[in-house]
Amino acid sequence: MIQAQNISYSIGGTQILTDISVRLCAGEFVAVLGSNGAGKTTLLKSLAGELTPEASCLQIEGRNYSQWTMHELALKRAVLSQNIDVSFRFQVMDIVLMGRYVHSHGYDGARDYEVAELALRHTDAYQFKDRIFNTLSGGEKQRVQLARVLAQIWNSDEKNAARYLFLDEPTSSLDIEHQYGMMTFIKRFAKKNVGVFCVLHDVNLAATFADRIALMKNGRILAQGPTESVIQSDLIEKTYGIAVKVHRGKEFQKPFIVPVYEEV
Amino acid sequence: MYVVKRRKLVILNSVFTVFLLVVALLAIGVGPMSATPMEVISILLEKIGFSLAQFTAAQESVILNIRLPRILAAVLVGASLSSSGAALQGLFRNPLVDPGLIGISSGAALAVASMIVFGRPLIDMLPEAMGLYVLAGIGFLGGMLATLIVIKIANFSGRILVSNLLLSGIAIQAVTFAGIGLLQFLGDDQQLRMITFWMLGSLGGAMWSSTGVLGILVMISTIYIIRDSKQLNLLALGEREASHLGLDIERLKKRIIFFVTLSVGASVSVSGSIGFIGLVVPHLVRLMFGADHRFLIPISVFVGAILLLLSDMMARTVVAPAELPIGVITSLIGGPFFIMLILRNKKIF
């Protein structure tokens, strides 16, 4: 479990996170929603151990981040950031194999190739495996980068030890088919004892797949809890500042929202 | 599938080793005192007790005392510049970087120019060979000092900011070039010639003792640089992304800069600054074998060594009995060749 209590973070006098407490358990899918600049990415970086915010408690598996070596952490958690560009003309397969470096010494082994291929298949990017990464489209790059991140924590040495996956807007360049495909797979991946912490912009995507949702505004958590309890029109309105209508019903699998706006 | 890559590297290394040996063998024999490859082999084998073909005592003396250290120096300098160029391009994630950029060559040039202009009495006092050592040592120290200043400027509370490293490198380069210009203005004609010759580079000063020191420094540095190939691959994803994958970036930066400075500092102090090899060779190798640093760096070692051997051969022979500065040849051929690469493959990065 990753546990954070009373995190605050500021850069040069600007308060970015204020008194946030969250936890992420292995096996669950937590989505974070909020308007631009609400502090979602900073929260993700803090929980992933990349930043060191002020906190009364910030631990992964009961130990502070400073007590982990970078190698140990890399086996425990993977991060897909918003930067998906790669310098130099690497092949797609090379990129995905980089996710396996932490597992191998010297050259990539048979197991590393096996995992890299599986990860590429699950993100529907296997067909590009011999292409030069920089020649792919934005959405294709995003799928390959996801495959790399998945390959990193695919199977830990112990059978199904707890692992954590941080995704910062993983669907931002994807078409609707791949958005749902990716989320379905990530949800399935979470079931293998992986805690998923995912920043999203699409409320309906979050409502469809997340076990729990956290709503952020101005560096604070506005509400967090099981998806059903958070997808409420007043909470969404407070978060984004626009009126929405929440639809629920037997004919829909999950609640979904529709913005209410004046006819132009 | 996975064995293929490793085997490919072994095969490539063997092929390039043979290629390098062949070129070296030809290069040793070329010059005013010529020798066929067979004669060269005989001279080398004679030393360990085999005799094959006939050769003259003069051939033996020239080849063992003059050509061989020079050829080895060419191999070492070429290997050092191109592997350092490849490593620095990876570290900066910028294909336009060359080893001169972090101040090594320009710092060395300024130190040597100062020594030529102001330290003349000291050099004149020493025997000629000693004078060359003093210059090489001063150049080495100057390069180290300039790089140290560049790193200090780019250091931001314990982290080296790569963009600042690049910018401060350019600034230091500008300052040192101004200093060199001033020294050229102050110096007399002979000093001016010495400075110019040193700045354009030459392997004419290579001797067994200096080549030995160069060999040790370049080999140690190159081994360490090659060991970091995988880490440099990760850096291509971005600094943050690489650290998520367990890479301690700050330690990697310090390691690479240290060994590159050691290697290039030693090269520059033996040969003067030789342009373009460190920039062009990594591009050429990337174009042929891809961006994976596990291929790029070792193969750059070979390609750099071979190209510098050929350039030195031209430098020695084109205007014989005089010699062209080798930097003129590498830039004269390297520049147009690089333009051709850009025109033919619009996207070489």
Q: What is the pLDDT of residues B314-327, one digit of tens each?
A: 998 888 788 888 98
Question: Residues 119 to 178 of B: which have CB under 8 A from any A CB?
Answer: none
d(CA B296, CA B285): 6
Judge whether residue B280 has pLDDT over 60.
Answer: yes
The mean pLDDT value of chain B amounts to 87
Residue-level pLDDT at B18: 96
Residue of A nearest to B91 (CA): A87
Q: Is residue A110 part of a domain?
A: yes
Among B234, B248, B286, whose Cβ lies nearest the Cβ of A101? B234
Reported confidence tier of residue B1, pLDDT bands at 50, 70, 90? very low
Q: What is the pLDDT of residues A84-102, one digit of tens each?
A: 999 999 999 999 999 999 9
CA A185 to chain B, closest CA, distance in angstroms equals: 22
Residue of A nearest to B9 (CA): A107
Judge whether residue A179 has pLDDT over 70.
Answer: yes
Lowest mean pLDDT among A51-55, B14-18, B110-114, B124-128: B124-128
**pTM score of the predicted model:** 0.90
Q: What is the pLDDT of residues B154-174, one digit of tens each?
A: 888 777 888 888 889 999 999
CA B236 to chain A, closest CA, distance in angstroms equals: 5
Residue-level pLDDT at B236: 94
Note whether A51 contacts B: Cβ–Cβ < 8 A.
Answer: no
Residue of A nearest to B236 (CA): A87
* SS3 assignment, position A76: helix
- B1 and A113 within 8 Å at the Cβ level: the answer is yes
Probe site for chain B from A11, A68, A88 (most B CB atoms < 10 A):
A88
Note whether A136 contacts B: Cβ–Cβ < 8 A.
Answer: no
Domain B75-344: which CATH class? mainly alpha
Judge whether residue A150 has pLDDT over 60.
Answer: yes
> Where along chain B do its domains lie?
75-344
Q: Quick check: A111 and A118 in contact, CB under 8 A?
A: no
CATH number for the domain harbouring residue A128? 3.40.50.300
Q: What is the pLDDT of residues B223-273, one digit of tens each?
A: 999 999 999 999 999 999 999 999 999 899 989 999 999 999 889 888 888
Q: What is the pLDDT of residues A189-243, one digit of tens each?
A: 999 999 999 999 999 999 999 999 999 999 999 999 999 999 999 999 999 999 9
Reported confidence tier of residue B128, pLDDT bands at 50, 70, 90? low
Q: Quick check: A200 and A192 in contact, CB under 8 A?
A: no
Catalogue the long-range contacts made by A35-39 (C-beta closer than 8 Å, 24 or more residues apart): A35/A217, A35/A239, A35/A240, A35/A241, A38/A216, A38/A217, A38/A218, A38/A219, A39/A9, A39/A216, A39/A218, A39/A219, A39/A220
Q: What is the radius of gyration, based on Cα positions, of chain A? A: 19
Reported confidence tier of residue A111, pLDDT bands at 50, 70, 90? confident
Residue-level pLDDT at B347: 58
Q: Which residues of A touch B6 (CB under 8 A)?
A: 107
The total of structural domains in chain A comes to 1
Q: Is residue A21 part of a domain?
A: yes
d(CA B224, CA B138): 25
Residue-level pLDDT at A79: 97
Residue-level pLDDT at B2: 55
Judge whether residue B51 has pLDDT over 80.
Answer: no
List of residues 6+ apart from A173 with CB closer than 8 A: A137, A138, A139, A141, A142
Q: Is residue A227 part of a domain?
A: yes
Range of the domain at A135: 2-259
Q: Which residues of A touch B245 (CB under 8 A)?
A: 74, 98-99, 101-102, 152
Q: Is residue A264 part of a domain?
A: no
The mean pLDDT value of chain A amounts to 92
